[in-house]
């Protein structure tokens, strides 16, 4: 973002067009001469007030923070760093200098705890003056340019290594981004001790997921890179980094409307969702591509917001177990050789299977569906797995499938997280036997570290008397704010004769097109009794069929 007026115009456009948005990112142009810990006093003359205005309107702010500090006698951060001896040096003690965005610059040695503390202090001081909600570390491989000194940090550059000095090639290079993230997160924790710190990094190393999220780097607006985003995100998840994703729409280049729509569809199911493009390329907000593409983008962004309770649960499981958020299909079924090379579809958790469209001009999609019983997310029809299927995929549709017997927790559409304040929870149950675990906490603050969270365990099954039902058990201290639950049960082939909630008649229910909808306070058990029984039509018969 290049000015405060541009930020305000974007906020207005998103809200007027009813396109949900939670965060706007400040790239390097917000700084004064590309100097970290500063901002341009002309283009952002009232930055602190702007950031407070963003918070009031439901927007979070994330600012880029590069490691390179310009060699400048009038630049306070550089002068303080020089006095403290925080910069990388050659073996003879000569400071390393190279060209970066601001020109001749020096790089802090984040391998040393005193330098990380120094950086954290600078971060906290910046946030005290300009209360950004999160920070984005970039250029932290570290990247330098040719033209002033070497084009890359030399292998023999020295890192202090917390008392165990090492050269750049011996590990200083690989761990640089990780150590910078440690320091940046520490600064956020100093500034906001009661908040969950949000950090993003381009570079990292084993363990970087402890300190924040990652993205897959500077990609291109091509169909090849659209496809590549899936395997890169899967690889990151399998490597212990579940919170990651690509620059949607491509960082470089210019997507046409069709490709942009497919980027937004894919991105809506990614752990990390950000539309980002480099300066000098055409703007790519959803409305830049005309009403049809804007409507498609809005549809999938709204779907993402509806699915946030499910996504949050999957990410909580990733934190606790290491199982990725976005998973290759073989992760869920290692016995099926057909899944071992599938890199064009993926799981979110263990219940939702997504098959994005990755080619121009496509109107249908062929995908190998894992074994078991599945529901088409859009058509609500039951499909047998362990086979290749072809489904419609016009521009407005991305094929998605849900395991029979699973519950998808959903919220109403919001323009930003927290706008609705948890008025109502939807539990969408896809008829069949199965179990689902849902995690809940306040979504902000550190209460979860003291046990203020809750697990919900849903067990769906058929009963010998012909009933179908779901039990809801909970464990944990957290008390959600919603007072009403909307239960949608898909795949009920005929109108029920009776629905009971905790053994009492359901207060309000509807039936249409094989979907039962019940509105009720939170419950422990819900039962559906059929009005009549026809085994050839029953969901029970189909989903209980042995897998192929």
pLDDT value of residue 170 = 86
**pLDDT tens for residues 341-378?**
999 999 999 999 999 999 999 999 999 999 999 999 99
CATH number of the domain residue 154 falls in: 3.20.20.80
70 three-class SS = strand
**In this structure, are residues 87 and 109 in contact, taking their beta carbons and an 8 Å threshold?**
yes
CA 494 to each of CA 376, 379, 431, 500, 518: distance values in angstroms, whole numbers, following the listed order: 19, 17, 13, 17, 15
Considering only CA atoms, which of 7, 360, 348, 63 is closest in space to residue 198?
63
Q: Which residue has the tokens 């750049």?
A: 168
pLDDT value of residue 538 = 45
Statement: the pTM of the whole predicted model exceeds 0.85: yes
141 is catalytic: yes
**pLDDT tens for residues 376-414?**
999 999 999 999 999 999 999 999 999 999 999 999 999
13 is catalytic: no
User: How far apart are the two ends of the chain, measured CA to CA in Å?
Assistant: 53
Pairing relation of β-strands 525-530 and 496-501? antiparallel
pLDDT value of residue 281 = 95
Give residue 146's pLDDT band: very low, low, confident or very high (50, 70, 90): confident
Judgement on whether residues 144 and 13 belong to the same structural domain of the protein: yes
**In this structure, are residues 470 and 502 in contact, taking their beta carbons and an 8 Å threshold?**
no
Q: Which domain holds residue 36?
A: 1-214
For the purposes of burial, counting CB atoms within 10 Å of the CB of 283, is it exposed (0-12), middle (13-18) or buried (19 or more)?
exposed
Judgement on whether residues 395 and 448 belong to the same structural domain of the protein: no
Query: Does residue 542 have a pLDDT over 50?
Result: no
Neighbours of 493 (CB within 10 A): 16
C-alpha to C-alpha distance for 67 and 188, rounded to whole angstroms: 16
Judgement on whether residues 466 and 426 belong to the same structural domain of the protein: yes
Considering only CA atoms, which of 58, 69, 45, 67 is closest in space to residue 133?
58
Contacts of 63 (CB under 8 A, 6+ apart): 25, 26, 30, 130, 132, 134, 135, 136
Considering only CA atoms, which of 244, 268, 200 is closest in space to residue 61?
200
pLDDT value of residue 1 = 61
Judgement on whether residues 72 and 101 belong to the same structural domain of the protein: yes
Q: Decide if 181 is inside a domain.
A: yes
Judgement on whether residues 170 and 55 belong to the same structural domain of the protein: yes
Give residue 152's pLDDT band: very low, low, confident or very high (50, 70, 90): confident
The string of DSSP codes covering 160-172 is --TTS-EEIIIII
Judgement on whether residues 40 and 178 belong to the same structural domain of the protein: yes
Q: Decide if 313 is inside a domain.
A: no
According to DSSP, the residues that pair with 63 across neighbouring strands are: 26, 135
CATH number of the domain residue 358 falls in: 2.60.40.1180
Residue of 151 and 9 predicted with greater confidence: 9
256 is catalytic: no
Residue finishing a domain among 169, 188, 214: 214
C-alpha to C-alpha distance for 482 and 81, rounded to whole angstroms: 50
C-alpha to C-alpha distance for 355 and 362, rounded to whole angstroms: 13
Give residue 148's pLDDT band: very low, low, confident or very high (50, 70, 90): low
Question: Which backbone phi and psi does 480 adopt, to 5 degrees?
Answer: -65, 160
* Sheet bearing 98-100, strands edge to edge: 69-70, 103-106, 98-100
Judgement on whether residues 347 and 482 belong to the same structural domain of the protein: no
Copy the structure tokens of residue 203: 């570079």
Query: Does residue 493 have a pLDDT over 50?
Result: yes
Residue tagged active-site, from 138, 294, 440, 540: 138
Residue finishing a domain among 382, 403, 424: 403
| Cis-peptide into 137, omega within 30 deg | no
Judgement on whether residues 33 and 169 belong to the same structural domain of the protein: yes
pLDDT value of residue 2 = 81
pLDDT value of residue 545 = 35
Q: Decide if 171 is inside a domain.
A: yes
Q: Decide if 439 is inside a domain.
A: yes
**pLDDT tens for residues 292-347?**
999 999 999 999 999 999 999 999 999 999 999 999 999 999 999 999 999 999 99
Residue tagged active-site, from 218, 338, 343, 384: 218
**In this structure, are residues 372 and 547 in contact, taking their beta carbons and an 8 Å threshold?**
yes
pLDDT value of residue 530 = 86
Q: For CA atoms 535, 538, 543, 547, give the dihedral sign.
A: positive
Q: Decide if 21 is inside a domain.
A: yes
Q: Decide if 285 is inside a domain.
A: no
**pLDDT tens for residues 275-289?**
999 999 999 999 999
Q: Decide if 50 is inside a domain.
A: yes
Q: Running DSSP on this structure, what letter comes out for residue 87?
A: B
**pLDDT tens for residues 436-477?**
999 999 999 999 999 999 999 999 999 999 899 999 999 999
**In this structure, are residues 328 and 368 in contact, taking their beta carbons and an 8 Å threshold?**
no
pLDDT value of residue 521 = 95
**In this structure, are residues 75 and 35 in contact, taking their beta carbons and an 8 Å threshold?**
yes
Judgement on whether residues 507 and 394 belong to the same structural domain of the protein: no
Domain count, the chain: 3
According to DSSP, the residues that pair with 520 across neighbouring strands are: 485
Averaged pLDDT for residues 209-236: 97
Residue finishing a domain among 172, 188, 214: 214
Buried b vs exposed e over 199-209: b needs ≥16 C-beta within 10 Å? bbbbbbeeebb
Judgement on whether residues 495 and 391 belong to the same structural domain of the protein: no
C-alpha to C-alpha distance for 246 and 248, rounded to whole angstroms: 6
C-alpha to C-alpha distance for 284 and 290, rounded to whole angstroms: 11
Query: Does residue 539 have a pLDDT over 50?
Result: no
Q: What is the mean pLDDT of the chain?
A: 94
Judgement on whether residues 351 and 440 belong to the same structural domain of the protein: no
Residue tagged active-site, from 22, 53, 141, 424: 141
Query: Does residue 481 have a pLDDT over 70?
Result: yes
Judgement on whether residues 520 and 398 belong to the same structural domain of the protein: no
Half-sphere exposure of 270 (CA within 13 A, CB side): 30
Residue of 534 and 485 predicted with greater confidence: 485
Q: Decide if 481 is inside a domain.
A: yes
According to DSSP, the residues that pair with 424 across neighbouring strands are: 484
521 phi-psi bin (left φ>0, alpha ψ -120 to 50, beta other): beta
**pLDDT tens for residues 69-126?**
999 999 999 999 999 999 999 999 999 999 999 999 999 999 999 999 999 999 999 9
- Range name among 144-153, 163-172, 195-204, 296-305 with the lowest pLDDT average: 144-153
C-alpha to C-alpha distance for 132 and 462, rounded to whole angstroms: 51
Query: Does residue 248 have a pLDDT over 70?
Result: yes
Averaged pLDDT for residues 174-189: 98
pLDDT value of residue 532 = 61
């Amino acid at each position: 973002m290049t000015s405060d007026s541009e930020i305000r115009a974007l906020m207005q456009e998103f809200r007027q067009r009813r396109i949900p948005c939670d965060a706007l990112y400040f790239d390097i142009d917000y700084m004064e001469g590309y100097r970290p810990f500063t901002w341009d006093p002309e283009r952002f003359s009232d930055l602190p007030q702007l950031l407070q205005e963003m918070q009031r309107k439901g927007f979070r702010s994330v600012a880029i923070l590069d490691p390179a500090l310009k060699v400048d006698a009038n630049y306070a951060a550089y002068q303080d760093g020089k006095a403290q001896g925080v910069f990388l040096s050659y073996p003879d003690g000569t400071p390393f200098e190279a060209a970066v965005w601001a020109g001749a610059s020096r790089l802090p040695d984040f391998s040393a705890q005193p330098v990380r503390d120094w950086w954290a202090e600078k971060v906290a001081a910046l946030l005290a003056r300009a209360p950004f909600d999160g920070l984005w570390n970039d250029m932290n491989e570290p990247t330098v340019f040719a033209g002033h000194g070497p084009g890359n940090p030399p292998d023999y550059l020295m890192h202090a290594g917390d008392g165990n000095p090492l050269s750049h090639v011996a590990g200083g290079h690989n761990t640089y981004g990780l150590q910078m993230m440690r320091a940046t997160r520490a600064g956020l924790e100093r500034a906001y001790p009661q908040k969950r710190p949000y950090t993003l990094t381009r570079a990292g190393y084993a363990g970087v997921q402890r300190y924040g999220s990652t993205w897959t780097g500077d990609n291109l607006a091509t169909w090849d890179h659209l496809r590549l985003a899936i395997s890169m995100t899967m690889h990151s998840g399998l490597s212990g980094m579940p919170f990651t994703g690509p620059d949607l729409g491509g960082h470089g280049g210019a997507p046409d409307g069709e490709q942009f729509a497919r980027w937004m569809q894919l991105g809506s199911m990614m752990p990390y969702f950000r539309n980002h493009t480099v300066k000098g390329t055409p703007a790519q907000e959803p409305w830049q591509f005309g009403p049809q593409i804007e409507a498609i983008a809005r549809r999938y962004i709204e779907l993402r917001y509806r699915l946030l309770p499910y996504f949050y649960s999957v990410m909580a499981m990733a934190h606790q177990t290491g199982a990725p958020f976005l998973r290759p299909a073989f992760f869920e079924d290692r016995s099926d050789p057909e899944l071992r090379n599938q890199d064009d579809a993926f799981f979110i958790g263990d219940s939702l299977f997504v098959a994005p469209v990755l080619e121009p001009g496509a109107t249908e999609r062929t995908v190998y569906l894992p074994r078991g019983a599945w529901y088409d997310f859009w058509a609500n029809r039951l499909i047998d797995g362990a086979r290749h299927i072809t489904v419609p995929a016009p521009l407005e549709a991305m094929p998605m499938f849900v395991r029979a017997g699973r519950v998808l927790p959903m919220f109403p559409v919001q323009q930003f997280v927290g706008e609705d304040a948890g008025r109502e929870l939807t539990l969408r149950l896809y008829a069949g036997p199965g179990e689902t675990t849902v995690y809940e906490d306040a979504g902000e603050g550190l209460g979860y570290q003291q046990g203020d969270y809750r697990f919900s365990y849903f067990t769906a099954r058929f009963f010998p008397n012909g009933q179908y039902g779901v039990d809801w058990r909970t464990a944990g201290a957290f008390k959600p704010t919603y007072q009403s639950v909307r239960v949608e049960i898909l795949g009920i082939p005929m109108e029920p004769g009776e629905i009971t909630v905790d053994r009492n008649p359901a207060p309000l229910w509807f039936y249409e097109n094989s979907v039962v909808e019940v509105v009720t306070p939170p419950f422990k058990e819900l039962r559906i009794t059929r009005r009549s029984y026809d085994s050839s039509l029953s969901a029970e018969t189909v989903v209980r069929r042995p897998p192929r």
